[in-house]
Amino acid sequence: MISPLAYVDPEAKVGKNVEIGPFVFIDKNVVIGDNNVIMPNVNIMYGSRIGNNNRIFPGAVIGAIPQDLKFKGEETTAEIGDNNSIRENVTINRGTAAKGKTVVGSNNLLMEGVHVAHDAKIGNGCIIGNSTKMAGEIVIDDFSIISANVLMHQFCHVGGYGMIQGGCRFSKDIPPFIIAGREPIAYSGINIVGLRRRGFSNELIENIHNTYRIIYNSGKNVTDALVQVREEIPMSPEIEYIISFIENSERGIIR
């Protein structure tokens, strides 16, 4: 299962039933789980940790040192979960002293040319479109869909179950369950189709919709809008998630 034209460092730990194609480079201090397919010309660098059942396509580079001048060679990792599809030329840098690790969860699709910078955290079940670039220490919550050629500023937080239109760029946080688009980027409604596909009830979707009507269309500042949400919208984990996300946003949310 390992091509004679691949290089696997003797100190690397490779699990069972792993297919390694020609011209793959696997560095020392690498741990790879079971049932992975690593296609030709993939580089898996020092500090990489890869789970099970992943497919890594040609040209991907995982665990290269951060593109951060503050990095001084500290021991950090790039950690990838299970059942991911990492397409051609994806780059996932390892962490810095800031967080210590870059994390990609499980069941994600990272399309061709995606860049995941140092200390980023991507959740589970996300789709990241071609050539999208994520700067350092961003966070993307579960079941997000980010279209092609999106540019994310460092430290931004993207809430779960939403969708971002292709070609957008942003430097503020994007709350959960919404569609974000246009130029400059703005709230463009809730992700009704995505929520229905994920099994959200009509009542819950309506509550989410009413929450965002208050936040974006009431004319109130965000603090007063959240007070109104608490008074008028039935509480559920999803509504509490919206409130908590906005209250804890360090960069502020898109408008």
Q: Which residues are catalytic?
A: 118-119, 136
**3-state secondary structure at position 37:** strand
∠ CA 49-115-128, rounded to 5°: 95
How many whole angstroms separate alpha carbon 196 and alpha carbon 217? Answer: 23
Name residues whose C-beta falls within 8 Å of residue 203's C-beta, 6 or more positions apart in sequence.
none
Distances (CA, A) of 32 to 87, 185, 191, 215: 17, 39, 36, 45
Return the SS3 of 194: helix
- Nearest-angstrom CA–CA distance, 44 and 14: 12
Distances, alpha carbon 52 to alpha carbons 18, 64, 105, 125, 255, in Å: 9, 20, 11, 15, 40
How many Cβ atoms are within 10 Å of 227's Cβ, its own excluded?
12
List helix spans (H) across the chain.
192-197, 202-217, 222-232, 237-247
* Helix axes of 202-217 and 237-247: crossing angle, nearest 10 degrees: 20
Residue 2: CA count within 13 A, CB half-sphere: 11
**CA 94/CA 190 separation, integer angstroms:** 33
